[in-house]
Structure 1
Amino acid sequence: MRIAVIGAGPGGLYFSYLWKKRHGDAQVDLFEQNPAGATWGFGVVFSEQALEFLAADDPDTVEAITPWMESWRNITLNLRGENVEIDGVGFSSIGRLDLLRILQARAASAGVLPRYGTQVTSLDQLAGYDLIVAADGLNSLVRRSFEGDFGTSMSYSSNKFAWYGTTKRFETLSQTFVKTRLGSFNAHHYRYSRDMSTFLVECDLSTWQAYGFADKTVEESKAICEQVFAATLAGHALVSNKSVWRNSPWIWNERWSFKNMVLIGDALHSTHFSIGSGTRLAIEDAIALTRALEAERDLEAAFARYQHERQPIVKKLVSAARASAEWYARFPEHMKLDLIDFAYSYITRSGRIDEARLRAMSPAFMARYGKRSQA
Structure 2
Amino acid sequence: MKVSCVGGGPAGLYFSILMKRQDPAHDITVYERNPAGSTYGWGVTYWGGLLDKLRGGDPESALAIAAESVRWSDGVAHVGDRTTVHHGDQGFGIGRRRLLEILAERAVSLGVRLEFEHEIAGDGPLPDADLVVAGDGVNSALRERHAGHFGTKITVGRNVYIWLGTAKVFDCFTFAFVETPHGWIWCYGYGFSDGHSTCVVECSPATWRGLGLHQASEAEGLALLERLFARVLEGHSLIGRSRTDGSARWLHFRTVTNRTWHRGNLVLIGDAAHTTHYSIGAGTTLALEDAIALAGALRGCGGELRPALARYERERTTALLAVQSAARYSAQWYENLPRYIRLAPPQMFALLGQRHSPLLPHVPPRLYYRVNRAAEQFESLRRFKRWLGPKVARTLQARSREAGPRAASGSPQARAPVRAR
Q: TM-score, normalised by structure 1?
A: 0.92
Q: Over residues 61-92 of structure 1, what are the superposed CA-to-partner deviations in whole Å (9 max), with x where a residue is unaligned?
A: 22111111110111111112121111122100
* Paired residues of 2:77 and 2:84 also in contact (CA < 8 A): yes
Q: Over residues 130-165 of structure 1, what are the superposed CA-to-partner deviations in whole Å (9 max), with x where a residue is unaligned?
A: 111000000101111101100110011111001111
Is 1:137 the counterpart of 2:137? The answer is yes
* Paired residues of 2:43 and 2:197 also in contact (CA < 8 A): yes
Alpha-carbon distance in 1 for matches of 2:3, 2:30: 8
Inter-CA distance 290–170: structure 2 relative to 1 (3 Å threshold): same
Number of corresponding residues? 360
What corresponds to 1:332 in structure 2?
A: 338
Alignment map for 1:291-302 (pairs within 5 Å): 291-297=296-302, 298-302=304-308
Is 1:262 the counterpart of 2:306? The answer is no
* Paired residues of 2:279 and 2:330 also in contact (CA < 8 A): yes
SS of corresponding position for 1:74: strand
Alignment map for 1:220-299 (pairs within 5 Å): 220-242=220-242, 244-297=249-302, 298-299=304-305
Q: Over residues 13-49 of structure 1, what are the superposed CA-to-partner deviations in whole Å (9 max), with x where a residue is unaligned?
A: 1111111222211111111000111111111000122
* Paired residues of 2:18 and 2:57 also in contact (CA < 8 A): no
* Paired residues of 1:75 and 1:89 also in contact (CA < 8 A): no
What corresponds to 2:312 in structure 1?
A: 306
Alpha-carbon distance in 2 for matches of 1:331, 1:204: 9
What corresponds to 2:87 in structure 1?
A: 87
Structure 2: 5+ residue runs without aligned partners? 243-247, 361-371, 379-421
Alpha-carbon distance in 2 for matches of 1:104, 1:128: 22
Once the two structures are TM-superposed, the CA of residue 355 in structure 1 deviates from its matched residue by: 5.3
Once the two structures are TM-superposed, the CA of residue 332 in structure 1 deviates from its matched residue by: 3.1
What corresponds to 1:48 in structure 2?
A: 48
* Paired residues of 2:270 and 2:290 also in contact (CA < 8 A): yes
Inter-CA distance 146–357: structure 2 relative to 1 (3 Å threshold): farther
SS of corresponding position for 1:38: coil
Q: Over residues 235-257 of structure 1, what are the superposed CA-to-partner deviations in whole Å (9 max), with x where a residue is unaligned?
A: 11101124510011100001010
Inter-CA distance 71–357: structure 2 relative to 1 (3 Å threshold): farther
Question: Percent of aligned positions with the same letter in both sequences?
Answer: 36
Alignment map for 1:124-203 (pairs within 5 Å): 124-203=124-203
Once the two structures are TM-superposed, the CA of residue 357 in structure 1 deviates from its matched residue by: 8.7
What corresponds to 2:419 in structure 1?
A: none
Alpha-carbon distance in 2 for matches of 1:66, 1:359: 35
What corresponds to 2:395 in structure 1?
A: none
Alpha-carbon distance in 1 for matches of 2:178, 2:91: 24
* Aligned residue type for 2:143: R
Once the two structures are TM-superposed, the CA of residue 123 in structure 1 deviates from its matched residue by: 5.8
Structure 1: 5+ residue runs without aligned partners? 361-375
What corresponds to 1:370 in structure 2?
A: none
Higher relative contact order (CA 8 A, sep 6+): 1
SS of corresponding position for 1:296: coil
* Aligned residue type for 1:87: H
* Paired residues of 1:295 and 1:302 also in contact (CA < 8 A): no
Q: Over residues 96-121 of structure 1, what are the superposed CA-to-partner deviations in whole Å (9 max), with x where a residue is unaligned?
A: 11111101111111111210011111
* Aligned residue type for 2:234: A
Inter-CA distance 75–27: structure 2 relative to 1 (3 Å threshold): same
Alpha-carbon distance in 1 for matches of 2:123, 2:31: 12
Alpha-carbon distance in 2 for matches of 1:56, 1:75: 29
Q: TM-score, normalised by structure 2?
A: 0.82
Alpha-carbon distance in 1 for matches of 2:159, 2:89: 25
SS of corresponding position for 1:107: helix
Instruction: Detail structure 1 runs of 4+ shifted over 4 Å in the superposition.
Output: 352-360
What corresponds to 1:372 in structure 2?
A: none
Deviates more, 1:25-34 or 1:290-299: 290-299
Inter-CA distance 127–205: structure 2 relative to 1 (3 Å threshold): same
Inter-CA distance 128–170: structure 2 relative to 1 (3 Å threshold): closer
* Paired residues of 2:18 and 2:58 also in contact (CA < 8 A): no
Inter-CA distance 8–239: structure 2 relative to 1 (3 Å threshold): same
* Aligned residue type for 1:73: S
Once the two structures are TM-superposed, the CA of residue 122 in structure 1 deviates from its matched residue by: 4.1
Alpha-carbon distance in 2 for matches of 1:345, 1:5: 41
* Aligned residue type for 2:336: R
Once the two structures are TM-superposed, the CA of residue 214 in structure 1 deviates from its matched residue by: 2.2
Is 1:117 the counterpart of 2:122? The answer is no
CA root-mean-square deviation: 1.9
* Paired residues of 1:6 and 1:134 also in contact (CA < 8 A): yes
Alpha-carbon distance in 1 for matches of 2:306, 2:113: 27
Alpha-carbon distance in 2 for matches of 1:189, 1:55: 27
